């Protein structure tokens, strides 16, 4: 059974599970989105006394906290008990492109996590000035962007599009354009330093 869980699954299984979760959320009148969890957490911690944005009935959104807790526990279980013995499989063209940027893909779990390059996410990279600035500036931009767009990528792309909301379609198009710009122009520029 463990070997079955560690093998790559067909992409359609994820799509089926996302669809099932969306139907359940829509049936119960809930909206999916991870960035809303932070607002709920801040409201539960009393931030509503300091800022009107957090002055909400957090108990009505408490299911968001359980959802986020489930994601953390699921990620922990997957990383520690269901990890595949081989790194994630990506195309040779992508590996070649990453090599031109100075990023080597690990060939085994012992060489690295297999999912993220250690040149960007390793402890040495994160403790460098450049890595710290990327982390802080990137985190700020993601947080600001999620708030400015009225939700995160998962909220707009999964929940908003399934509700046929035009603002979500515009946001998702913006997310894709921003992702392409980051991948092809900004990240190569940053990695040259």
Annotate 77-134 with DSSP letters as a single string: HHHHHS--SSPPP--HHHHHHHHHTT-PPPSSGGGS-SSS-HHHHSHHHHTSHHHHHH
Determine the 3-state secondary structure of 16 from DSSP. Answer: helix
Q: How would you write the pLDDT of the chain (193 residues) with one tens digit per residue? A: 677 777 777 889 988 988 898 888 888 888 777 777 888 888 888 888 998 888 888 888 888 888 889 989 998 988 788 777 666 778 889 888 888 888 877 666 666 555 677 777 778 888 888 888 888 888 888 888 887 878 788 788 888 887 888 988 998 999 899 989 988 898 888 887 7
**Inter-residue contact 117 to 103 (CB < 8 Å):** yes
| Tokens describing residue 182 | 């980051």
| pTM greater than the 0.85 cutoff | no
């Amino acid at each position: 059974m463990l070997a079955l869980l560690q093998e790559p699954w067909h992409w359609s299984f994820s799509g089926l599970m996302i669809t099932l979760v969306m139907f359940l959320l829509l049936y119960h009148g809930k909206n999916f989105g991870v960035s809303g969890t932070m607002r709920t957490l801040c409201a539960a911690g009393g931030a509503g006394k300091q800022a009107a944005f957090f002055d909400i009935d957090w108990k009505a959104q408490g299911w968001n906290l359980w959802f986020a807790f489930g994601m953390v526990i699921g990620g922990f279980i997957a990383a520690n008990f269901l990890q595949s013995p081989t790194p994630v499989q990506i195309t040779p063209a992508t590996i070649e492109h990453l090599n031109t940027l100075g990023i080597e893909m690990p060939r085994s779990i012992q060489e690295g996590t297999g999912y993220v390059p250690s040149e960007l996410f390793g402890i040495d990279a994160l403790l460098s000035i450049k890595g710290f600035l990327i982390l802080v500036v990137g985190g700020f931009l993601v947080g600001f962007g999620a708030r400015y767009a009225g939700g995160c990528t998962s909220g707009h792309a999964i929940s908003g599009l399934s509700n046929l909301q035009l603002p979500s379609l515009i946001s998702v198009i913006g997310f894709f354009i921003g992702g392409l710009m980051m991948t092809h122009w900004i990240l190569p520029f940053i990695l040259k330093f």
